[in-house]
């Protein structure tokens, strides 16, 4: 039983009043059977087709169209989408990966391919646009207002990616391209190629299309990184003071670590698309298609840095915000050299069967069956592996008005430093004692003789996502003389099952077999070489050049083998008793009606309807309960688990989602729109997991996280207003206002949590008793800070979207747009207790200039996005994550050697901009990434 909400009542009232106005409506059909045609007219033609889509839509829709078969405006789909008002992107490895629309991040946007939901190898619901080649795509449509005909999930927007079909091409077509891409940082050149062949046969009643694309890219990322900033930690060697020497009493923020890194990535992507179409009669088209993607990112990082422990920090100084700007650490401090892997090995396959049936002149029905599967391999924990060599040392750390902090005092020899072995043995360091042991000392930081073994981590997620959908969509066209013109109705049944398994060697403690920089095993002879990141390492970032850009480099996989052979230790990752599976079953029905009429001689088009969706959620999990904590070394403990158990949780919910839109053609050139709707976005699948994970088990830092299977969807009441002036071919200006009132926001609260062991006693912390290095009778109960999600908060987001597009007779053209976004749920950086703020909100601007005349085409594009709050958490800290303002220039040019052959050049990030993530305040660095410039040269053919 459902109560009629205010929005539903308003929409029904508007529909009723609209129907009375339309008593004298002209006899018109609002839709006809689609006959797809692709007109190859370059940049101007693509802009014209996108403009037509925007103008003819009943709601607010923006579109990007291919300039030719296999020729999309940008080399990456996300890079193209950011040219649309309201759309911003997140980058990975210098390449667009995920989108934010109107301030709502990837989880709030539904991405469909040919109208179907796609499985994702991401742990959440996010769609990664880097898995699909731009050459495969015909159009990208961004639906910013809701329609009952489209499945729910997109509070931000619903993006539909349309691929090519043989009946649309209508005849023989062969198109392809080859290009070479030069990466400025790595100085490597990599290949890319695509091929599409399509034809129709038997009097155009049968069609076949096959497309394949291959990309290989080698890139180098210069980086600086802190895992996070700890808030209000304890300081055992003296409280931090202000620059004037006074004791500071406010919130204190200390970096967890600081590293200098160089990452080399090899990206290899193969996409294939097969489409078969058959028209057994004039009123029936059967389409079968398959889309395959194999996308592997193999990432290797060499780095060095230092890990800080607040209780061992000395001479700490803070600024006015409580950020530590200067500190020294010697006790428990090591200089670490790392070999890391962050591989992402994925593949996906989507298959579908569609029947498009004109039942009669008035009724069309479509039946669609689809299945999509995506997988990410565990790859023996190489999704997050770390091999480490290091040695006990000392360091002075400082941050000033520059972005990059700097180290000192660690690089030179120092005979006063006690080794890790000596610290572990607890030797007497008092020179006045008869038991005094002199320090081993350290030599120059690039001397391999210093090196000792430490942690050897393998950690990955194995992910499988399966989506199956059955859809029935119908369109009935009126041929009467009333205002009613069309009805759309249908149903959908959809299931999604996502399974996430953890693979690691940390749960068993194997990773810490040789922890604490001991003298055994002897690794000084293990191959190590001096790596030089170059004098230009992060040279465009303020503060560069003050910290050494050379460090020791080694083969991490070889070190795993070397240490494993010493005593027969198996460092391989194993599947842990910490996994979950989420299954969602959704049943939907919808009805949507179109009316046409006039008001004062102005054509009026109105659409209204509703979508009913019912969802059942079942969550299964396997978890072993923690039984005790063992001390591994002075900085880490091991959680020891008991037997695993399986359990399930379930929930269900239903929604009625009304929608209304009206379009008034004030003149032949001037169009006004109003749209109102309710939309939902479901919780991330990982947040539904009913298990508790122990994320950090360190002395003085116990962190855990839980899911919540009872979470319900976000819901949003939406209003859109726009005015659009189409004053010439492929030219227009528009202004739009949007407002979203979003309820049931999911917030993450932090609360103390204890654990009960098998003997019904509370878990204790062995580092809190009389002996901080071993269990004793004085040990206190282990209290974890547990982060868990819950529904409850609401927020209002509103903003303006301004756009202009103009094409000149001379061949020149300009595009410009801006998005201005506001919210009543912004973060107060000084309030560390605030648990809710809206992420992703930022203003953005795009400028594009192009020239197209005869055989030549040229295009230059500028994109800017303002600073925004990306996340309310950090990877290894207590704070939040901001992304500083970022801008980028891209350009491309092509020349037609013949009607069939074109040569082209493309430039990405021409001015070599870098991304910068930080914590609450501007001097709390989290990461700086310099991905460099990319230049591509190639040839394209179309026959």
CA distance 36 to 41: 16
Cβ density class 180-189: b for 16+ within 10 Å, e for less: ebebbbbebe
More confident residue, 809 or 22: 809
Q: What are the beta bridge partners of residue 675?
A: 661, 720
pLDDT on residue 588 = 97
What digits encode the pLDDT tens for the residues 211-223? 999 999 999 999 9
pLDDT of residue 729: 87
The pair phi, psi for residue 371, each rounded to 5°, is -140, 135
Percent of the chain residues past pLDDT 90, beyond the cut: 73
Query: Mean pLDDT in the chain?
Result: 90
DSSP code of residue 247: B
What's the pLDDT tens digit per position in 326-369? Answer: 999 999 899 999 999 999 999 999 999 999 999 999 999 999 99
Tens digit of each residue's pLDDT (9 = 90 or more) over 660-706: 999 999 999 999 999 999 999 999 887 888 889 898 898 888 989 89
What DSSP state is assigned to residue 248? Answer: P
Residue located via tokens 């990966």? 97
What would the pLDDT profile of 517-539 be if each residue is shown by its tens digit?
999 999 988 999 999 999 999 99
Burial class (CB in 10 A: 0-12, 13-18, 19+), 709: buried
Question: Which pLDDT band holds residue 858 (cuts at 50, 70, 90)?
Answer: very high
Q: Which residue has the tokens 């428990």?
A: 332
φ/ψ (deg, to 5) at 303: -160, 170
Per-residue model confidence (pLDDT) at position 23 = 35
Neighbours of 249 (CB within 10 A): 9
| Residue 760, token pair as written in the block | 């019904």
- The mean pLDDT of 160-183, rounded to a whole number, is 94
pLDDT at 926: 97
Confidence of residue 126 (pLDDT cuts 50, 70, 90): confident
Residues 6+ apart with CB under 8 A from 21: 483, 597, 599, 604
Q: What is the maximum alpha-carbon separation in the chain?
A: 109
Looking at the predicted structure, is the pLDDT value of residue 540 above 50?
yes
Distance CA 547, CA 549 (A): 6
Closest by alpha carbon to 644, among 620, 625, 624?
Answer: 624
Distant-in-sequence, close-in-space partners of 516: CB < 8 Å, separation ≥ 6: 420, 423, 424, 454, 632, 633, 634
pLDDT of residue 363: 96
Structural domains for the chain: 45-390+458-511+567-942 (2.40.170.20)
Burial of 412 (0-12, 13-18, 19+ CB in 10 A): exposed
């Amino acid at each position: 039983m459902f109560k009629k909400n205010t929005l539903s009542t308003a929409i029904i009232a508007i529909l009723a009043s609209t129907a009375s106005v339309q008593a004298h409506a002209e006899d018109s059909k609002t839709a006809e059977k689609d006959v797809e045609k692709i007109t190859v007219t370059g940049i101007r033609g693509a802009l014209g087709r996108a403009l037509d889509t925007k103008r003819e839509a009943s709601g607010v829709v923006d579109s990007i169209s291919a300039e030719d078969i296999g020729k999309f405006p940008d080399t990456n789909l996300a890079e193209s989408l950011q040219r649309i008002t309201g759309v911003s992107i997140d980058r990975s490895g210098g390449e667009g990966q995920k989108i934010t629309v109107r301030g709502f991040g990837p989880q709030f946007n539904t991405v469909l391919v040919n109208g179907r939901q796609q499985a994702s190898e991401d742990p959440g619901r996010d769609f990664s646009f880097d898995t699909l080649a731009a050459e495969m795509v015909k159009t990208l449509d961004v639906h910013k207002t809701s329609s009952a005909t489209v499945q729910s999930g997109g509070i931000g927007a619903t993006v539909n990616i349309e691929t090519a079909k043989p009946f649309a091409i209508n005849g023989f077509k062969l198109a392809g391209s080859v290009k070479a891409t030069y990466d400025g940082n790595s100085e490597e050149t990599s290949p890319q190629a695509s091929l599409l062949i399509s034809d129709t046969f038997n009097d155009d009643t049968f069609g076949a299309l096959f497309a394949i694309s291959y990309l290989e890219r080698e890139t180098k990322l210069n980086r600086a990184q802190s895992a996070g900033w700890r808030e209000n930690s304890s300081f055992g060697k003296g409280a931090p003071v202000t620059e004037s020497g006074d004791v500071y009493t406010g919130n204190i923020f200390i970096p967890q670590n600081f590293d200098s890194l160089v990452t080399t990535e090899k990206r290899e992507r193969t996409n294939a698309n097969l489409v078969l179409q058959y028209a057994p009669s004039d009123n029936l088209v059967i389409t079968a298609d398959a889309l395959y993607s194999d996308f592997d990112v193999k990432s290797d990082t060499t780095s060095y840095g230092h890990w800080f422990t607040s209780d061992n920090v000395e001479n700490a100084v803070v600024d006015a915000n409580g950020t530590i700007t200067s500190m020294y650490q010697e006790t428990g401090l090591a200089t670490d050299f790392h070999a890391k892997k962050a591989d992402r090995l994925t593949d996906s396959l989507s298959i579908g069967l569609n029947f498009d049936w004109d039942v009669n002149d008035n009724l069309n029905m479509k039946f669609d069956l689809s299945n999509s599967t995506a997988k990410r391999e565990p790859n023996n924990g190489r999704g997050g592996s770390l091999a480490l060599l290091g040695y006990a040392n000392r360091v002075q750390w400082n941050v000033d008005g520059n972005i990059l902090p700097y180290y000192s005092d660690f690089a030179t020899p120092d005979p006063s430093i006690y080794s890790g072995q000596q610290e572990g043995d607890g030797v007497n360091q008092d020179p006045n004692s008869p038991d005094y042991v002199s320090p081993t000392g350290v030599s120059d930081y690039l001397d391999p003789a210093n090196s000792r073994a430490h942690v050897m981590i393998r950690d990955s997620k194995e992910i499988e996502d399966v989506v199956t959908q059955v859809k029935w969509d119908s369109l009935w066209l009126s041929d009467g003389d009333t205002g009613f013109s069309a009805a759309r109705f249908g149903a959908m049944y959809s299931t999604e099952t996502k399974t996430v398994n953890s693979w690691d060697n940390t749960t068993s403690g194997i990773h810490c077999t040789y922890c604490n920089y001991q003298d055994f095993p002897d690794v000084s002879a293990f191959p190590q070489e001096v790596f030089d990141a170059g004098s230009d390492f992060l040279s465009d970032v303020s503060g560069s050049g003050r910290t050494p850009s050379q460090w020791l480099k080694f083969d991490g996989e070889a070190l795993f083998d070397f240490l494993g052979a010493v005593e027969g230790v198996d460092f391989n990752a194993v599947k842990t008793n910490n996994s979950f599976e989420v299954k969602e079953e959704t049943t939907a029905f919808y009805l949507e009606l179109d009316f046409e009429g006039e008001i004062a001689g102005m054509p009026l088009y109105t659409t209204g309807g509703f979508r009913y969706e019912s969802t059942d959620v079942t969550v299964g999990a396997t978890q072993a309960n923690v039984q005790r904590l063992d001390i591994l070394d002075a900085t880490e403990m091991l959680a020891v688990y008991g037997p695993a158990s399986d359990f399930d949780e379930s929930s269900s919910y239903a929604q009625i989602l009304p929608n209304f839109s009206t379009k008034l053609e004030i003149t032949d050139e001037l169009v006004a729109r109003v749209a109102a709707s309710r939309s939902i976005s479901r919780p991330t699948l990982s947040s539904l997991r009913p298990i508790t994970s122990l994320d950090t088990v360190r002395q003085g830092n116990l962190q855990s996280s839980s899911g919540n299977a009872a979470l319900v969807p976000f819901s949003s009441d939406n209003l859109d207003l726009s005015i659009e002036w189409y004053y010439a071919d492929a030219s227009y200006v528009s202004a739009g206002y949007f407002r979203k009132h979003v309820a049931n926001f999911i917030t993450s609260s932090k609360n103390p949590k204890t654990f009960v062991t098998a003997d019904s006693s509370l878990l204790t912390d062995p580092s809190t008793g009389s002996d901080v290095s071993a269990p004793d009778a004085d040990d206190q109960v282990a209290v974890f800070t547990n982060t868990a999600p819950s529904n409850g908060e609401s927020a209002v987001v509103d903003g303006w979207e301004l756009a202009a597009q103009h094409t000149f007779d001379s061949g020149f053209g300009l595009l410009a747009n801006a998005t201005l976004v506001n919210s009543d749920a912004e973060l107060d950086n000084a309030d560390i207790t605030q648990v809710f703020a809206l992420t992703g909100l930022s203003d953005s601007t795009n400028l594009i200039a192009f020239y197209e005349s005869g055989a030549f085409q040229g295009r230059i594009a500028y994109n800017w996005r303002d600073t925004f709050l990306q996340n309310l958490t950090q990877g290894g800290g207590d704070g939040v994550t901001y992304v500083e303002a970022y801008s980028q220039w891209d350009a491309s040019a092509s020349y037609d050697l013949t009607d069939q052959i074109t040569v082209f050049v493309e430039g990405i990030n021409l001015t070599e901009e870098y991304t910068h993530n930080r914590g609450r305040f501007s001097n709390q660095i989290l990461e700086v990434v310099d991905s460099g410039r990319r230049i591509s040269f190639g040839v394209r053919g179309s026959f």
